Amino acid sequence: MEMTVFQADQRASERGISLPETLAALVILGMVTVSVLLMFTYSMELNVTGLDYATLTNRARDKAEQLLASGWYDDAGVAVLNPDLDASTNPHTEVQTDSHLRLVWNITDRVINQATPDFPGGLAVVGNANIKVIIVTAVSTSASGIGRRDVNVAVLKIKGEG
């Protein structure tokens, strides 16, 4: 079987993909794949960070609510201040069951004169505080994510409110 000139020219223009073209396509595909994988890794780090901050915020809020619900005095009702609300023993510390989580809270006693209210009130002397400023700090040095994180929650406890 003989080929005509027309058939030979047609075959020459239908040659296919060369090796350099294939390699260039593979390099471009590899760069895109690496970029997408790096974005997934960064996204996972951000998710871990967000989870840590959510955990810290919830634990700090739980402790603040526990302190707000606790009595001004001890359980016997005598004039002994609840040790968790004693401003003279700052800072108070509690290590959570998680090895990487620590709660620290500071109490500031304030007094507000009802005749001439002055918020946030002057510093109280021992025994005459009618308001407590509670700042709870949740600290995490988690092995996951990036470095140390801490969250502060501040609340006011008014005498007679529990």
Q: Give residue limits of the domains in the chain.
A: 5-158
The DSSP secondary structure of 99-159, one letter per residue, reads TTEEEEEEEEEEE--SSS--TT-EEPPTT---EEEEEEEEEE--SSSSS-EEEEEEEEEET
pLDDT of 31 above 90: yes
Q: For residue 25, what pLDDT is reported? A: 93
Asked if residue 143 has pLDDT above 80, the reply is no
pTM exceeds 0.85 for this model: no
